[in-house]
């Protein structure tokens, strides 16, 4: 089972982990990305929120492509990959990846590969918001 999506509402991490769990599996790999106070570039540590924008159809297609390849490469029974769009407050989850496999190695390796693929290739754009302004960060 693959669930790959772009979400416009706050992510419910417990629900997504539950969706990624399979009782036949002994290993679950998970990554939860959150809004941090330190800026991606420079030495500012006063980020108050992030704003993500995406082309929903293209972003979901790329997420699904990454998920399909991961299921082929590793022995995954379930896979959840969800990225948030919109404004996310400090500490709020922005991306969740969950992989279930009979063994921990495959689950953990796949999880890292998936989050790296999301960061490198999915068309999602990030703006860091500060109390005194905002700045777009990089691009996919």
> Domains in the chain, start-ordered, CATH in brackets?
2-136 (3.90.1170.40)
Query: Helix crossing, 104-121 with 56-73: angle to 10°?
Result: 150
Spatial strand order of the sheet with 78-84 comes to 2-7, 78-84, 93-101, 27-34
pLDDT at 139 over 80: no
Q: What is the mean pLDDT of the chain?
A: 95
d(CA 86, CA 100): 28
Q: What angle do CA 47, 14, 81 make, to 5 degrees?
A: 70
Work out the average pLDDT over 120-127: 96
DSSP letter (8 states) at residue 11: -
Averaged pLDDT, 104-127: 97
């Amino acid at each position: 089972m693959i669930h790959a999506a772009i979400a416009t509402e706050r992510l419910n991490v417990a629900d997504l982990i539950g969706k990624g769990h399979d009782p036949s599996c002994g290993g679950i790999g998970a990554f939860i990305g959150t809004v941090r106070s330190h800026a991606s570039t420079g030495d500012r540590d006063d980020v108050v929120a992030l704003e993500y924008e995406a082309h929903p159809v293209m972003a979901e297609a790329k997420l699904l492509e990454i998920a399909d390849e991961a299921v082929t490469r590793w022995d995954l029974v379930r896979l959840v990959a969800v990225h948030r769009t919109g404004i996310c407050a400090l500490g709020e989850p922005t991306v969740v990846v969950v992989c279930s496999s009979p063994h921990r190695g495959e689950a953990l390796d796949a999880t890292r590969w998936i989050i790296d693929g999301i960061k490198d290739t999915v068309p999602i754009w990030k703006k860091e918001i500060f109390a005194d302004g905002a700045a777009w960060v990089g691009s996919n």
